[in-house]
Structure 1
């Protein structure tokens, strides 16, 4: 019989709390996290990849327009082209998760 473990969801405020316990106050931790997220967001918005060695790679991919179907009534509809962000896990993170 398998045991089930409670999953803890870590959001932005929890990340700030964790950073604040490592020698920063909450304001400094919030600013640091916001700065990192802004740099990643800006780079991706410009079409650049963000590669954090060992952690992973954020990459923008283009999804062209396509025809979809409304499941409620079966009508065909156009789905607009869009850019999507994908993440590929790095070796160190993968190793840490699979211990």
Structure 2
């Protein structure tokens, strides 16, 4: 599902919301998650999952075209862990 599909689904599920209102809501929610992660905080949405930052240490990589060694710097990347309820719902839906 893309962001525009999510906005359309929310707008159709709540008839009092216009598509523009749904777009603003989705943008604010995703922006709040992004801001919290950029501050180094963890975000937990009960029944859905949690977002946190994972540290990837620096390493030596290879350029696939030339085979030359390339230094890859250490970085933080967002990490999502599905909650128990979500895992169970997905499991039931795939059976």
* TM-score (norm: length of structure 1): 0.85
2:89 to 73, 78, 96: 96
How far did residue 53 of structure 1 move? Answer: 1.1
Residue in structure 1 matched with residue 3 of structure 2 by the alignment? 12
Secondary structure of the corresponding residue to residue 98 of structure 1: helix
Secondary structure of the corresponding residue to residue 21 of structure 1: helix
How far did residue 21 of structure 1 move? Answer: 1.0
* TM-score (norm: length of structure 2): 0.89
Which ranges of structure 2 fall in alignment gaps of 5 or more residues? Answer: none
Aligned pairs for 1:39-78 within 5 A? 39-78=32-71
* Equivalent residues, number: 90
Q: Which has the higher helix share?
A: 2
Residue in structure 1 matched with residue 30 of structure 2 by the alignment? 37
Bigger mean CA offset, 18-27 vs 34-43:
18-27
Backbone CA RMSD of aligned residues: 1.0
How far did residue 15 of structure 1 move? Answer: 0.4
